[in-house]
Amino acid sequence: MVEIFKNFLTEEECKILTEISFYCVQSSVTNEKRLTSRIKMHGNKYPQDVIDISNKIRKFMKIDHYPIIDGPGSDGIVVSIIYPGGELHKHKDSRQPLNESLCYRCNIMTQSPDEGGILYVSDKPVDINVGDLHCYYASEHTHYVTKVEGNTPRVLWMFGAFIPCNNLNS
């Protein structure tokens, strides 16, 4: 269900992405404790370091020939920062277009909170650490993140592709 590749990014790469993240996000109307780049980066470009990591992930996962998850964010990339007291509600991402492609997310947490902020996929906790690449079909599995506690925000970068339903076995 969830593929995990431990230490996919180096500590330095995680530090770079975390520093970039705070310039890319804005608050949503519904939750001041969870900020994303879904709107702010729409129509803007991420720095080359972010694009290079996205390309590295897409090639490693052999999804570079599939379309990026366009719409929110930019370049098929979204970053999310959950501040202490915030969480991510249980949901599934959307299939696209017209339900013909599944949303395959490849995510990396670049900063972990002091406590909490645990990812659950299909109601099972996923053991990830900073720098671990974790990938799953976000349109097919409910997922959520528990409340972040302490003083340190949780920073997560989301990459991936839309994979046509008829290509799942390839």
pTM: 0.92
Per-residue b or e along 58-79, where b marks 16 or more CB atoms closer than 10 Å to that residue's CB: beebebeebebbeebbbbbbbb
Comparing 8-12, 77-81, 111-115, which segment has the lowest mean pLDDT?
A: 77-81
Least confident of 6-10, 92-96, 126-130, 156-160: 92-96
Tell me the pLDDT tens digit for each residue of 58-110: 999 999 999 888 777 788 899 999 999 999 999 999 888 767 899 999 999 99
Residues 118-127, mean pLDDT to the nearest whole number: 98
| Bridge partners (DSSP) listed for residue 88 | 145
Query: What pLDDT does residue 40 have?
Result: 76
> pLDDT tens for residues 22-41?
888 865 545 688 888 877 78
